Amino acid sequence: MLYWKLSPKEILKRIIKFMKTNITFSVFLFSFIFTLFSCFPSLGKVKKTQYQRKANLAIENPNPKTAYKAEIPLDLLEGSIDGDLRIVDKNNKELPFVFESASDDWTSEAKSLKIYNQSVLENKEQSLELDLKDAPELNELELDIKDTNFDRSVSVYGRDNKSDDWKLIKKDLKIIASQLPDQKIDFKHTSLKFPETRYKFLKLKITLNNPEKNSVKPLEILSVKSRFIKKSLDHVFNSIDLPLRELFITKQNKKSSLWILDTQDKDYNFEKINLEFSENSFSRDTLLYCSAKPKPTFLDDPEISLITSTNLYKFKDIQNLSIIGLSGKCRYFIVEILQGDNLPIKPYKAKGEIRRKFLKFIFEPPFELPLTIYAKSTSKDLEFPSYDLEVRIAKEKINNFQVARINEVSPNPEFQGQSISKENKYEALIPYAGAVFLIAFVTFYIFSLAKKNNFNS
């Protein structure tokens, strides 16, 4: 009779009989199993020794199944990535959480508006009337203007019926464009921002900003588009000051100036650089580089890389002094301002901006206070945490989050200062490989002894 044709009950009976008659093997087997499983990492436990920082996560008036939201402070974000942060409770149990980054303003799709009336008053004032039936809500207009040199003020009015009087929405918004002698457009700003409106009709009254001129040629407005911008938060970024100094290097473009910004070894993911100038009325193309050196000698250095380019401008109430499009981390930033033949402009202050980030979590049994956050792991193989909390929040429609606070950020005293290298990263798989080996070994050993002791009879 073959052993695989026996019933499970009969097989178990014979195995027990076999183990009783082979005491030495039984002791070896159970000792090996105990040793093996003691090597497995504890499920739901956090290995604190690989994290460089820790902080307290404080919640007020804790109640079962209460949802909380806490902003991650800059001290905890420095040098960390989203995937290397963990929350643990009193018993070192890992508490699920959801990351949330402060989102930019939401902007609707642009919609073209019908211009149903245009007029010019004594060559000093130009009016434009718009039908908003295709844009029930808006707070921004973008004018497509063919002209390349103008400086105008625009007042926005609204009404619900063509027989109603116009009501002022926003006064003296600026639109401006300048052109260099070589016919290249240097600057153009034609967007109008105002409080949200739901009027059915709008009127734009465009007037000259230079009253000394007796007449003005009407602008050739090709089209008008509307947008609705929804603010997400009071502010999306936290900022830190970046010391700056002028930089002089070999082979420097005589028509540009260089400034180096020191991140002071702060390991942040900067998304924007804001510059401040004392000069007024300028428009300059600007290049941003990343450098590993505090005193580079030339821009072609292999350790210097171009990040992005942008146009910085400042005209009366209109300005853009932010460099965006950054990604990754950088020790030093180099700003190259293309001055052309203009008088040079010089920044006197620089700020780096880091996006605000939050944690959402639900405190409920079996978790116990206090809660601790660990961050900045040295493990090169730590994966982004995978929880089902985000699905739960969506399905249960949890929208009300109590405020929690992260405080007392400090070095982790349990940190061992060791990193998992590429050479030993497979060490974590040893227990699992051992389990496979154990199964194969025990199977082979049992069958060998079974054959010897006539297990099938």
pLDDT in tens, 76-112: 888 777 678 899 999 999 999 998 888 877 778 888 9
d(CA 209, CA 316): 11
- Which residue, among 266, 258, 273, has the nearest Cα to 78 in the 3D structure? 266
Please report, for residues 141, 142, 189, 211, 315, the alpha-carbon distance to residue 172 in angstroms, rounded to integers and kept in the order given: 14, 16, 14, 14, 14
Query: What single letter denotes the amino acid at residue 20?
Result: K
Torsion of CA 275, 281, 283, 284, to 10 degrees: -50
Query: What single letter denotes the amino acid at residue 96?
Result: P
d(CA 71, CA 356): 7
- Which residue, among 420, 418, 410, has the nearest Cα to 373 in the 3D structure? 410
Query: What single letter denotes the amino acid at residue 125?
Result: E
pLDDT of residue 413: 92
| Cβ neighbours, 10 Å, residue 20 | 9
> Which DSSP helix (H) or strand (E) runs through 117?
strand 114-121
Q: Are 125 and 387 in contact (CB under 8 A)?
A: no
d(CA 306, CA 409): 35
Residue 418: strand, helix, or coil: coil
> Which DSSP helix (H) or strand (E) runs through 114?
strand 114-121
Run means of pLDDT, 10 residues per run, the chain, 457 residues = 60 68 62 54 67 91 86 87 84 92 82 90 84 83 90 92 93 83 66 91 86 68 90 82 91 87 89 93 91 86 89 85 86 93 93 93 91 86 80 89 92 76 48 62 61 53
* Helical segments of 252-407, H only: 389-395
DSSP state of 93: B
- Which residue, among 2, 12, 40, 19, has the nearest Cα to 442 in the 3D structure? 19
Q: Are 130 and 113 in contact (CB under 8 A)?
A: yes
Residue 262: strand, helix, or coil: strand
Tokens found for residue 25 = 């093997």
Query: What single letter denotes the amino acid at residue 390?
Result: E
Cα angle 348-284-234, degrees, rounded to a multiple of 5: 65
Tokens found for residue 407 = 């405080």
- In the block, tokens 């100094």 appear at 245
Q: Are 89 and 371 in contact (CB under 8 A)?
A: yes
Tokens found for residue 396 = 């249960």
Tokens found for residue 342 = 């203009």
The pLDDT tens digits for 397-426 are 898 999 999 998 999 998 887 544 444 445
pLDDT of residue 347: 96
Q: Are 50 and 415 in contact (CB under 8 A)?
A: yes
Residues 6+ apart with CB under 8 A from 393: 67, 98, 360
Residues 6+ apart with CB under 8 A from 104: 232, 236
Q: Are 142 and 191 in contact (CB under 8 A)?
A: yes
pLDDT of residue 42: 44
